Structure 1
Amino acid sequence: MPNNGTPATNAGTTQSNEVHVTTQPSILTPIINVNALTPAETEEAVEKAGVTKTQLTGGKAFVSAMFAGAFIGFGALFFLIVTCDPAMTWGPKRFVGGLAFCMGLVLVLCCGAELFTGNSLMASDLAAHRISWPAMLKNWVIVWFGNLAGALVLVTLIAFAGTMGLNDGAVGNTAVATAASKITPDWFTLFFRGILCNILVCLAVRIGFSARSVADKVLGILLPIAGFVAMGFEHCVANMFFLPVGLVSKMLGFGAQAAGADAVTVQGILYNLSAATLGNIVGGAIFVALAYWFVNAKKNATK
């Protein structure tokens, strides 16, 4: 019988107010490293990306390259719009125009696209025996023509949009003058400007690979890209936009008084692209890709 209002319990059992908690396995918090990759780690990332590029189907590589051609074209158009202001002096105009052009590579690196000049870094994969000559050359050819197609699509859209008529036609006049300035120099001058250009572009791409965040990528590429534009170097993919848009602007009646406007022809475009493309390959593949592969391969060997 219960005594003094105390609840009864079953014989042989005891009451307990203890709460039993089932413990779960502890989950370790991942360590987030905010430091950029080391040069050796960056080289590994570049080479892994190069292998992945050779595994793309031809169609996917071409469409991705079209994106890159259009992205660089947008940056080039931004450059034309900024630099058409006659009130700006030469130095500041080149610097601000170079910063505007950076938008193109920002889109390529952050949104993902196949850029011919950046793909010259695949030469390090070739040296490391990760890919073959045919695989690399196939990628380069597909991406080069994909970049050209993307740039030409953008030129067509811009022509119908009337963009060259902005600022009372100053954008169209600047487009013709810019194209002429890229065609009138002799072939070897353009070739060496192409070498210097892609040294800076590929260094900027390596900075993008070493970055831990989108902000790192954007900030890291600004000065190398703005620098090559301000210095007047030749980027074949940018010229796939600059030169055709200059020719279209000339056909629309802009830039008649620009120096060297008569040189802005289809033949002049091919003349520039041949020199700029070969120069870009030498600058990116030899002076950056193979050089960094050699440095990091020697480090790995000593370890």
Structure 2
Amino acid sequence: MSDENKHTSNESDEETNQNKEEEHHPGRQFYIPSQIVKDFGEKGKDHLKKPFRAQLLLALTAGSFMTFGAAFSILLAIGVEAKGLYYLLSGMGFAAGYAMVFISGSVLFTEINVLLPTYLFNVTGLMQKPILKFWASAYIGNILGALFVAVLIQLSGSLSTPFYTELSVYLEHKMKFMDHGVKGWFEVLVSGILANWLIGMAAFLTTAARDITGKILGTALPVILFVAGNFQHSAANMGYFSLGVLSKSEYTWYEFILFNLIPASIGNIIGGAILVSLLFSYAYKEDIQSALSLKK
């Protein structure tokens, strides 16, 4: 046999062996952690590069989904006495809002607390004006979007008295820290750290999935956990509080902001930026820098 034929035969054998190996080792149905973290950095960069109008509109959309999720969580839990089932249904309801956020590419403050730092930890000039402007627009946009949907729900007259009765229970559960004074303020902050840690992992699992079913399931599990644990998630609370402000709630809007949203937001930034973004950024530093085409 000539050398050329031998070479051709060897290539054919290698291709056959590769095909057999692929048959025994099918492609994974999820992305590995280093790929997920690289995607976080790329998403953070993409969000930052969007024009301001797009950032604000996507933030408004995300805030709107939070109120839809809050309303759905309450509707599913009305009349449920068993606590385990109550938490499960309530969490599943709110997961619907998060699924719409993650899959639509909307800008949610607590997701940005994970995506943007993953990019920022690998570049210089962390606190430049456009970055702070984007973070602020995400937060304000989420609040305005949440209020917008709450107003529409109120004007529609679609929800009955049992809904608002259950809403008052939710609000009391979230505002119980106010009775603890200064200690309660810091309890909300720590609770916010836990909440955004879980939401960061929801983004992690959602990004890992390669199909729509996996993304919804990956979103639902951490969301159900933070709802059941009453961990204070500022974006989620925007939905509940927007509905509460427009109903006959015993709490005022400034109490919602001062005694919950502010400490929860601070905790959310810490939980998302440090316990998810910084932790995984450091663990997969080389992969992120390669993906973002950055060199120190």
- Which of 125, 128, 132 is matched with 2:126 structurally? 132
In structure 2, distance between residues paired with 1:222 and 1:237: 16
Choose which of 281, 284, 288 in structure 1 pairs with 2:276.
288
Structure 2 unaligned spans of 5+: 1-21, 178-183, 290-296
Within the candidate set 138, 148, 154, 2:149 is matched to: 154
* Per-residue Cα deviation, 1:160-185 (whole angstroms, up to 9, x for no partner): 112342xxx11111112212322230
Query: What whole-Å deviation, never above 9, does each CA across 1:63-112 have from its counterpart, x for those lacking one?
Result: 00111111121111101111221x42222101111111100111011122
Tell me what 1:210 maps to.
208
Counterpart amino acid of 2:171? A
Which one-letter code corresponds to 1:241 in the other structure? G
SS at match of 1:35: coil
Q: Contact (CA 8 Å) 2:91, 2:225: kept in 1 or not?
A: yes
What is the distance in 2 between the residues matched to 1:163 and 1:290? 44
Q: 1:131 to 1:45 in 2, by over 3 A?
A: farther
Aligned match for 1:49, one of 39, 43, 56: 43
Counterpart of 1:284, as a letter, is G
Q: Does 1:178 align with 2:176?
A: no
In structure 2, what is the equivalent of residue 109 of structure 1?
Answer: 102
TM normalised by structure 2 equals 0.81
How far apart, in 2, do the equivalents of 1:211 and 1:93 lie?
Answer: 27
Q: Is the 8 A contact 1:102 1:226 kept in 2?
A: yes
CA root-mean-square deviation: 2.0
Q: Look up the equivalent residue of 1:282 and give its one-letter code.
A: I
Identity between Structure 1 and Structure 2 (%): 28
2:90 maps to 1:97? yes
After the TM superposition, which segments of 4 or more aligned residues of structure 1 sit over 6 Å from their partners?
A: 298-301
Matched with 1:37 is: 31
Q: Look up the match of 2:14.
A: none
**Structure 1 residue aligned with 2:265:** 277
Out of 112, 119, 123, the position equivalent to 2:112 is: 119
Q: 1:268 to 1:123 in 2, by over 3 A?
A: same
Give unpaired runs (5+ residues) of structure 1. 1-30, 251-260
Q: What letter matches 1:268 in structure 2? A: E
Q: Secondary structure at the match of 2:271?
A: helix
Q: CA deviation at 1:213?
A: 1.6
TM-score with structure 1 setting the length: 0.80
